[in-house]
Amino acid sequence: MEDFVPAARAAGGHRMTLFTWASERSFPSLPPPRPRYFDVAPDARVLAHCHWQPDPPACPTLLALHGLEGSSQAHYMRGLADKAFARGFNVVLLNQRNCGGTEHLSAGLYHSGLTGDPQAVMNELVALDRLASIAVVGYSLGGNVALKLAGEYGAAPPAVLRCVCAVSPTMDLARCVAALERRGNVLYEWNFVRNLKRRMRRKAQLAPGRFDLRPLRGVRTVRGFDEAFTAPHHGFRDAGDYYYRASSLRVIERVAVPTLIVSADDDPFVPADQFRDRALTANPRVRVVITRGGGHCGFFAEPDGPFDGFWAERTAVGFAARQAGV
Active site residues: 140, 267, 296
Q: Tell me the HSE value of 167 on the side-chain side, using a 13 A CA sphere.
A: 27
- Sequential DSSP letters for 11-49: -SHHHHHHHHHH-----TTSPPPEEEEEEEETTEEEEEE
Hey, is 315 helix, strand or coil? Answer: helix
d(CA 190, CA 27): 30
* Type and span of the H or E element at 162: strand 161-167
Give the C-alpha separation, 15 to 20, whole Å: 8
Instruction: Point out which residues pair with 35 in neighbouring strands.
Output: 49
Query: Cα separation of 157 and 160, whole Å?
Result: 8
* Cα 283 from Cα 312, distance rounded (Å): 22
